[in-house]
Amino acid sequence: MTLTFTPPTARAVPEWIGANADTPVPPRVRVRVFDRKHGRCHICERSIRAGEKWTLEHLIALINWRATTEQPHGNRESNLTVTCDWCLPEKNAADVAQKSKAYATRAVIVFVASERRIRFDLPLPTGDSDKDEKAKRQKWRALLLCIKAKLEGVESKIETFEEAFLAHVVLPDGLTMLQHAKPAIEQAYKSGDMPPLLPGPKK
Ligand SMILES: [Zn+2]
């Protein structure tokens, strides 16, 4: 049996590991992760443009990390990745879906109507005290009332289904119309130019 030993190169930089799960990631590590990911969002694989907002995220969310003695938390460089601003709500929703229902912190409603997939996804108050639970139930009630009111508006021909729900229409890439349009609209207001509202297909 041959054992191969790879000596660490002089340029090898030790992995950054947070003192604990809440330790902020130092800027140099932030830059390192961005370079390692070639400046691309790990969800939509878009190259992040200069000046565009992005977030350093834990690939395995800290809430879902399986702690071991050697790796008690996931706040470490190898578990860090780059998420663009458009994809952030998706990542958060997926992490929360993975989390047990008892700790649910988002209200997510998905339904299909008028041949469109519609998604409402909003944060719920956190915590599990009686007061928090009451606030969560209140939020759910308000969400259902809001959807009901929109449907009533459509029924009464105040607006069309498309007008009432456009922002919440889910597109083939899993993002909502709002998530696609919001950065483009912000850009249009800043520059005065008309950008395409939806990006073209990936090459
Ligand atoms: Zn993205």
Give 97-129 pLDDT, tens digit per residue.
666 554 567 788 888 888 888 999 888 887 778
Specify whether the CB–CB gap between 179 and 197 falls below 8 A: no
* 123 HSE (CA, 13 A, CB side): 6
CA of 40 to the centre of ligand 1 (A): 8
Choice between 129 and 5, residue whose per-residue pLDDT is larger: 129
What is the per-residue pLDDT for 201? Answer: 59
Neighbours of 96 (CB within 10 A): 21
CA of 16 to the centre of ligand 1 (A): 24
Kindly state the percentage of the chain with pLDDT values over 90: 39
Tokens, residue 174: 């899993």
154-187 residue pLDDT tens: 999 999 999 999 999 998 888 899 988 888 888 8
CA of 82 to the centre of ligand 1 (A): 9
Kindly state the percentage of the chain with pLDDT values over 70: 86
CA of 136 to the centre of ligand 1 (A): 29
CA of 48 to the centre of ligand 1 (A): 8
CA of 55 to the centre of ligand 1 (A): 10
Rounded CA-CA distance 123/135 in Å is 12
Rounded CA-CA distance 19/22 in Å is 8
Specify whether the CB–CB gap between 154 and 116 falls below 8 A: no
Q: Which residues contact 199 (CB under 8 A, 6 or more apart)?
A: 46, 180
What is the per-residue pLDDT for 122? Answer: 86
What is the per-residue pLDDT for 1? Answer: 46
61-87 residue pLDDT tens: 888 888 888 889 999 999 999 998 888
Q: Where are the alpha helices (DSSP H) in the chain?
A: 27-36, 88-98, 130-155, 161-165, 177-191
pTM of the predicted model over 0.85: no
